[in-house]
């Protein structure tokens, strides 16, 4: 039968707690690093445009390619792809993108 004195029990508890803190510190540091890197790369990439203004210099006509979802259920990359497709079709007809 093992009996621990109060001092041994206290030291054992303190050592276990210290090991658990070390685990949580390393996990939280990794989580913070991952979050920081995600924010940096997310901001650097920029969102694709959901509106592109097009101008035809020959006819002086201006058109706008845009896409939106009022319900907010469509993936923004799908909407941006539709806008880009519209702009490319207009470019084949002599339109240029406005800045």
63: phi then psi, degrees, rounded to nearest 5: -130, 160
In this structure, are residues 63 and 95 in contact, taking their beta carbons and an 8 Å threshold? yes
pLDDT in tens, 65-85: 999 988 888 888 999 999 999
Task: Give percent of the chain above pLDDT 90.
Answer: 39
Query: Which has more pLDDT, 33 or 71?
Result: 71
User: What are the residue ranges spanned by the domains of the chain?
Assistant: 7-46, 51-97
Q: Could you tell me how far CA 35 lies from the centroid of its own chain?
A: 10
Q: Is pTM beyond 0.85 here? A: no
């Amino acid at each position: 039968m093992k009996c621990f004195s109060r001092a041994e029990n206290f030291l054992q508890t303190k050592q276990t707690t210290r090991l658990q803190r070390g685990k949580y510190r390393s996990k939280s540091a990794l989580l913070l690093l991952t979050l920081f890197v995600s924010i940096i790369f997310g901001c650097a990439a920029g969102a694709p445009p959901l509106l592109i203004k097009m101008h035809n210099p020959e006819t002086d006509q201006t058109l706008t390619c845009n896409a939106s979802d009022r319900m907010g259920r469509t993936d923004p990359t799908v909407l941006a792809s539709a806008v880009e497709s519209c702009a490319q079709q207009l470019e084949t007809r002599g339109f240029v993108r406005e800045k």
